[in-house]
């Protein structure tokens, strides 16, 4: 399959039609270059807060509600584009108030298939900003998505920095991990990228990272953004020696493309130079036997 991962700038929107046109153009561009799977970034949907006006977009709490209220429409838009272009789309994540999960919003990314099927993944572990200032909370459990393209897991940004989350998805059968991210500085981008690359190494799978880029000064939440698209695999049999299948230029908006061969994932797991995925369980008896040695 061919994957397209976004370095996505958030814009001030004058009306809903402008948003429709923007997303339609992005999807058409990626599909026109043969992409089967399109990955938008974490919190890219925050630009929808601008439709509620400057005061709402500039207020942390009001912006949460403003975006959440638009997600049904946004979902219908992405579902229609997935059908029209015959592609799978991971839409940009958004704060969503889900009554089934409590009074506070979760950070939710929705995956749309060309068949009309859809599902969502909620972020598991909140960053300090999300928990201390925004009061966005952990959502539903991890999910494995069985698709025509393969078995896909989603780790939203900070979640990719935690190996046990990825391991749970790999043990469930994940071949591809999608990592939509939103980071304000280069250090944050590299934290997530290093996490995404490490998860590909450990799970002998492919990770696909998307990012928000550019300034959104109208928002106190996503006012500055640094990042790039990237696709990573294990630096082993059938993959580049660097593990980097593709990497976009930092802070340059647009799509980054890469080919993913599921047979290579199966091959490296079965007969790689190393077998990280298989040997994972050998850690357990070792970590309970740490001893302290005084070398003063």
Q: Is 296 domain-assigned?
A: no
Q: Answer yes or no: is 165 within a domain.
A: yes
Q: Is residue 295 part of a domain?
A: no
Q: Which of 39, 137, 51, 129 is nearest to 93 (CA)?
A: 39
Q: With 80 as the cut, is the pLDDT of residue 289 above it?
A: no
pLDDT band with cut points at 50, 70 and 90 for residue 66: very high
Answer yes or no: is pLDDT of 210 > 90: yes
Q: Does 135 or 284 have the greater pLDDT score?
A: 135
pTM above 0.85, yes or no: yes
Listed in sequence order, the residues at least 6 apart from 61 whose beta carbon sits closer than 8 Å to its beta carbon are none
292 domain residue, yes or no: no
Task: Find the Cα–Cα–Cα–Cα dihedral 245, 250, 256, 258, rounded to 10°.
Answer: 0
CA distance 45 to 22: 12
Tell me what pLDDT residue 160 has.
98
Q: Which residues contact 87 (CB under 8 A, 6 or more apart)?
A: 27, 30, 31, 35, 36, 37, 38, 81, 114
Q: Are 238 and 253 in contact (CB under 8 A)?
A: no
> What is the number of structural domains in the chain?
1
Residue 85: its pLDDT value, please?
A: 98
E strands of the chain, at which residues?
Answer: 2-9, 37-39, 88-90, 94-96, 106-112, 118-122, 144-147, 150-154, 176-180, 206-215, 224-225, 230-232, 244-247, 254-259
CA distance 52 to 119: 27
pLDDT for the residue 288? 78
Residues 183, 187: Cα–Cα separation, whole Å:
8
Render pLDDT for 169-204 as a digit per residue (tens, 0 to 9): 999 999 999 999 999 999 999 999 999 999 999 999
Confidence class for position 6, pLDDT limits 50, 70, 90: very high
Please name which of 225, 220, 43 lies closest in space to residue 133, comparing C-alpha atoms: 220
| Rounded Cα distance, 213 and 251, in Å | 5
pLDDT of residue 287: 84
Residue 100 pLDDT > 80: yes
Residue 293 located in a structural domain? no
| Domain assignment of residue 294, yes or no | no
Question: What's the CATH number where 34 sits?
Answer: 3.60.110.10
- The model's pLDDT over 265-282, given as tens digits with 9 standing for 90+, comes to 999 999 999 999 999 999
Q: pLDDT-derived band of residue 114, with 50, 70 and 90 as boundaries?
A: very high
Read off φ and ψ for residue 54, nearest 5 degrees.
Answer: -60, -40
- pLDDT score recorded for residue 98: 97
Burial 115-150 (b: 16+ CB within 10 A, else e): eeebbbbbbbbbbeebeeebebbbbeebbbbebebb
**What range does the domain containing 64 cover?**
2-287
* Predicted confidence (pLDDT) at residue 291 exceeds the cutoff of 90: no
Q: What is the mean pLDDT of residues 152-173?
A: 98
pLDDT for residue 228 is more than 90: yes
In angstroms, rounded to a whole number, what is the distance separating the alpha carbons of residues 176 and 275?
17
Q: Average pLDDT for residues 244-267, to the nearest whole number?
A: 98
What percentage of residues in the chain have a pLDDT greater than 90? 97
Output the average pLDDT for the chain.
97
């Amino acid at each position: 399959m061919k994957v397209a991962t976004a370095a996505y700038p958030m814009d001030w929107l004058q009306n809903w039609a402008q948003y429709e046109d923007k997303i339609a153009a992005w999807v058409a561009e990626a599909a026109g270059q043969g992409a089967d799977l399109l990955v938008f970034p974490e919190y890219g949907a925050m630009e929808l807060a601008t439709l509620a006006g400057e005061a709402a977009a500039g207020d942390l709490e009001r912006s949460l509600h403003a975006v959440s209220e638009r997600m049904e429409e946004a979902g219908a838009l992405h579902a229609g584009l997935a059908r029209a272009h015959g592609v799978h789309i991971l839409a940009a994540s958004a704060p969503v108030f889900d009554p089934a999960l409590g009074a506070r919003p979760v950070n939710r990314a929705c995956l749309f298939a060309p068949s009309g099927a859809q599902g969502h993944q909620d972020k598991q572990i909140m960053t300090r900003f999300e928990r201390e200032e925004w009061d966005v909370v952990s959502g539903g459990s991890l999910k494995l998505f069985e698709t025509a393209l393969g078995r896909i897991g989603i780790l939203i940004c900070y979640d990719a920095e935690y190996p046990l989350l990825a391991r749970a998805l790999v043990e469930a059968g994940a071949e591809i991990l999608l990592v939509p991210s939103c980071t304000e500085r280069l250090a944050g981008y590299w934290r997530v990228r290093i996490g995404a690359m490490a998860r590909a190494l450990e799970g002998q799978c492919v990770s696909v990272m998307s990012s928000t880029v550019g300034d959104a000064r109208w928002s106190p939440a996503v006012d500055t953004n640094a990042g790039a698209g990237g696709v990573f695999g294990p630096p082993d049999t059938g993959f580049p020696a660097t593990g980097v299948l593709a990497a976009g230029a930092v802070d340059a908006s647009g799509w980054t493309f890469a080919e993913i061969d599921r047979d290579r994932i199966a091959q490296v797991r079965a007969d790689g130079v190393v077998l990280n995925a298989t040997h994972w369980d050998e850690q357990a008896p070792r970590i309970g036997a740490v001893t302290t040695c005084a070398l003063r």
